[in-house]
Structure 1
């Protein structure tokens, strides 16, 4: 295989050198040997353009990925067209998304892997699996291919933001998976935000959103007592969620925490569920629950039941990706539902919220029997460009959209007649794999498809959401803990009690908030956590953080 020019990045060189030295020379050499890419006899075009393979050559790549279920991958126009563009045939193994982690593990165990693992995400293709199967040579190390010649789009992103490379490099100095990179206007969201019911605010004459926990409490009391939905019934639910899974992050910020779990502050790692800050959060939520301000069904209802209440105009504040998903009022109605303003309290006078790392690992991996690693990476690199991401998300001309010209002669994209304009996402999910998966590409705010050539796309809602995000979340968002890898030994240490800790603290959170367990039991609760090995748990993450920070 021809010699490949390395990506010349000062930080990149320092990072790899430091990591390899840290692993030990002999160990590093051993793993390097086990991760060499398979030699390929397939000739590729050398100009870096499409098609990827040279004239007269043939190449077929098999892909294993989660199936969402709207369409078979072999029938997706985006993938069919991309085969024509690249000259590479692709075949697919796509077990249902819910079964994918099990099917992937079985494929590894049986040595029956496809050439490419696509869209798995870190829940299915975990960091521990990357390190384990990478060290065995089952997953191919990719760092030598991240060059301007082979992956010009991804290499450019890494050059602009070296933390990308840092976040996908394992402790043995290798890159085994490529990420999804989120760069859109809402990429900083750690989860769906919370939204106020704008109609209720208008009916109560509320001009300014609460900024402290005391002001927020007062508003919830008004939601409960002043009939803001105007039906003459006391059926209002000031605040709701499903098991606190979405709202927890936003309220914990008012008490100086970014996450329920491992958190880093100024280089020190802690476990927040045993902190006094967390106790204050629980006491506050217990007060809301006890006084009928937090939904009494918060721990028993489903997401659909929550939405039914929203569509019945019973909710004052609720979490969702967008408010109209809960209320059913559409984007225009949602423009009147302001995003939650993060709160402060006596414990935390400065607001803080968890921020997304804007990077998701495990999106693309190459396995040991792949017939051409270089071709595979050139195949995926296109999607790390804005143009390629748009192709992946919207597909080729004639399916989701078609070309049209405005009266001024400008060429634009309009939805095809077959697309239901009230449910465009269902149509999109049938033409592309970039639907509900952690796909290997850059995600940006794309130019919207128009309903008709001379009707400007309505970006009002997206612009408003981005503005709310920029004003309320971006200035105070902090990543709770950096996206890093644990060594195999470290992972073995934390995995032994991670599940037990999470299960116990979630159970006790519900009991404290609903009043089933008194706060007189707090010391006993903390001692139980201590008895579950939390000290070693924290120390392990501290060591991993220190190593990450040093590199």
Structure 2
């Protein structure tokens, strides 16, 4: 009798417990339904989904492997789930993600290049306008911007919106890192001077092709590798005072590829291609194939970086070829003594930053988490890594250890540093002057920076954006123009299309609406100058 009663009591208690749990679950579900996007949870932020390109897939499968982010998780308790798009499809994946509206908590992206600019996504309620949040919850970034008003102007839209936690470069030494790279040892072996003019370059490239500078008795040297999408960037076309895109002359915006001078530039590229001075495989050459051509002692010149090219290749080749040496050349001109119209000196802000999306349910906490990187501790962590491992303080100067600069496993400084910090590329932090000083400490790097800085750069455009009203039209025009331009320029260079069709090419771009795009860019430049 007692056992039967006990059994009934147990059943009743079980039913009561189930009812209580159901009520609690129902209340929780109701709270979650009622809570609007952007409101903070009662609990502190514990996890974030974060969309960003993996800039060093050769060193990191995922940014969760990076020492700085591991340490940041220890400090803050915030776990980050990094979502890395496939590099070849990153723009497409970004556009699809933004169109669908299924957004992660944070998106780190080159926002200056998005169709319509970041203000478009603010008005569409996809990313958050951060001005008030920064004023109230980001004292570190606020201090940085208050002390550098020109930086604040750069990171705002024309409407005054701050849309991301920006990547900023602390000093001039951080802003020059890219340009024409040459085999310095080949120049010395062949008794050649550093090229300054277009004619000098022709002399050097011809010698690289014909005089066996790698000394293997084979005609396997590749004089110059160009890029299939950005071609020579502004390094060679700049000799004509124009660029591969938009530039300005005395405040008036122009578009390089439709100018008569662009035909002269393409004629040069086609001549060099026909002479075998430009790599005939350049369209199919990715970063891994370029690495192979450099380390196989074949490539004489290319467009590269101080760190991931000059330093990295010299470290990789140190044991293989002790004579191997690279250096950077000035942007070419037509006549000796001329000042190059362009150089490679970027602005403190390049448009990359971490935006918080409206899907984020813990905006204030995310702002505080991102702001940590702009404070003293975060600045040290994301530029130098872990004290005692990747750096030591030597008379208050953060000095990279031998694990970074002379890795015992033979890893280049670029690769070793990537395992600790993102300072070698970008992210939501201020890139330190001390990082750049050490990352470019080799004499060859110093010479390169000095050469790449030569030039006025007065015609370079600042980062501007169209209005929301103009954005769709502008994006449509430039998507069509960009695809057509790249396709045709490669055909002109390789000779698949004769240069007699250049005028037709320019007229086609005009028919696609480039004049309207120029109007939009002109208005955007004028708005920027009034910020």
TM-score between the two structures when normalised by the length of structure 1? 0.74
What are the within-5 Å matches in structure 2 for residues 387-406 of structure 1?
387-397=377-387, 400-401=389-390
Unmatched runs of 5 consecutive residues or more in structure 2: 1-35
1:339 is displaced (CA, Å) by 0.8
SS in 1 for 2:160: coil
Q: Against the structure 1 CA distance between its residues 231 and 101, is the aligned structure 2 distance closer, same or farther, given a 3 Å change threshold? A: closer
- Matched-pair contact (CA < 8 Å) for 1:227–1:234: yes
1:344 aligned residue (333, 337, 344): 333
Residues in 1 aligned to 2:323 and 2:106: alpha-carbon distance in whole angstroms: 38
Which residue matches 1:249? Answer: 234
Deviations 1:495-542 (A, max 9, x none): 122122122222222232233333332322222222221211211111
Query: Aligned equivalents of 1:167 and 1:197: distance in 2?
Result: 37
1:531 to 1:232, Cα distance in 2 relative to 1, 3 A: same
- Give the match for residue 367 of structure 2: 377
Structure 1 residue 512 and structure 2 residue 492: aligned? yes
Aligned to 1:315, the other structure's residue is in SS state coil
- Per the alignment, do residues 94 and 225 of structure 1 end up closer, same or farther by CA in structure 2, a change over 3 Å counting? closer
Taking the TM superposition and a 5 Å limit, the aligned residue runs for 1:388-427 are 388-397=378-387, 400-401=389-390, 415=403, 420-423=409-412
Cα 1:423/1:361, change in 2 over 3 Å? same
How many angstroms apart in 2 are the aligned matches of 1:426 and 1:324? 11
Residue 260 of structure 1 and its aligned partner are, at CA, apart by 0.6
Once the 2 structures are TM-superposed, how far is the Cα of residue 84 of structure 1 from its aligned partner? 4.3
- Of the structure 1 ranges 58-67 and 495-504, higher mean CA displacement relative to structure 2 is found in 58-67
Equivalent of 1:209, from 194, 197, 208? 194
Which of 159, 171, 184 is equivalent to 1:198? 184
Distance 2:86 2:425 in 1: 9
CA 1:41 to 1:520, structure 2 compared with 1: closer, same or farther past 3 Å?
closer
* Change in CA separation of 1:292 and 1:473 when aligned onto 2, cut-off 3 Å: same
Q: Could you tell me how far apart the structure 2 residues matched to 1:300 and 1:459 are?
A: 30
Q: TM-score, normalised by structure 2?
A: 0.77
For this pair of structures, how many residues does the alignment match?
482
Distance 1:373 1:404, change over 3 A: closer
User: CA-to-partner distance for each residue in 1:28-56, whole Å, 9 max, x for gaps?
Assistant: xxxxxxxx9956587xxxxxxxxxxxxxx
- Where does residue 223 of structure 1 map in the other structure? 208
Give the equivalent residue in structure 1 for 2:271. Answer: 287
In structure 2, C-alpha distance between the alignment counterparts of 1:377 and 1:393, rounded to whole Å: 20
Aligned partner (choices 445, 449, 453) of residue 469 of structure 1: 449
Match 2:351 to one of 350, 361, 377:
361
Which stretches in structure 1 are left out of the alignment for 5+ residues?
1-35, 43-56, 449-456
The superposition leaves residues 173-202 of structure 1 with CA deviations (integer Å, 9 ceiling, x where unpaired) of 32122211134666434x742222122111
Counterpart position of 1:85: 75
Q: Quick check: 1:142 aligned with 2:127? A: no
What is the RMSD computed on CA atoms of the aligned residues? 4.0
Where is the helix percentage greater, Structure 1 or Structure 2?
2
Aligned-pair distance for 1:252? 1.0
Q: Deviations over 1:198-234 (max 9, x none)?
A: 221111222x312211222223233333333333333
